[in-house]
Amino acid sequence: MVSMDPKAAVMNYQYGERAKSGLIILSQLAIALSGFPDQEKAGGKKMLLMMMESVRTELAFAHRGTSHREFNRAINSLSEAISLVESNQPEQASQKIAQAVSAVTTPAAEAWQVLSEHGLV
């Protein structure tokens, strides 16, 4: 049984689903970067890193807004992924991003359970 009031559940669900969407896009882009021609990799890497920083900022906002530890775990995984992209290892970065997706799925699933119990979904 998850201990969360409906207002907190709405916030956790919203932040979790938004983060999950952003992280899935990042994972797809990291994998795509591996297939870029050499002359395009530098620009692609720069754009990917900018997007990763943006999602990490959203995760930090989610953690501050909810205090759910899984958002912090996602931040840590994404930080590792950023380091891997900076080291020209985008495929390995996608594995770390997958860990972040798993982390943000937890608060969203817990929130869904609470919202269901209150008849809100």
**3-state SS, one letter per residue, for the chain:** CCCCCHHHHHHHHHHHHHHHHHHHHHHHHHHHHHCCCHHHHHHHHHHHHHHHHHHHHHHHHHHHHHCCHHHHHHHHHHHHHHHHHHCCCHHHHHHHHHHHHHHHHHHHHHHHHHHHHCCCC
Q: Does domain 6-117 have CATH number 1.10.287?
A: no
The reported pLDDT for the residue numbered 37 is 96
pLDDT digits (tens, 9 = 90+) for 44-86: 999 999 999 999 999 999 999 999 999 999 999 999 999 999 9
The stretch 1-11 carries a mean pLDDT of 87
Of all residues in the chain, the percent with pLDDT exceeding 90 is 94
Query: pTM of the entire structure?
Result: 0.93
Q: How confident is the model at residue 3 (pLDDT cuts 50, 70, 90)?
A: confident
Q: How confident is the model at residue 120 (pLDDT cuts 50, 70, 90)?
A: confident
Q: How confident is the model at residue 1 (pLDDT cuts 50, 70, 90)?
A: low
For the chain, domain boundaries? 6-117
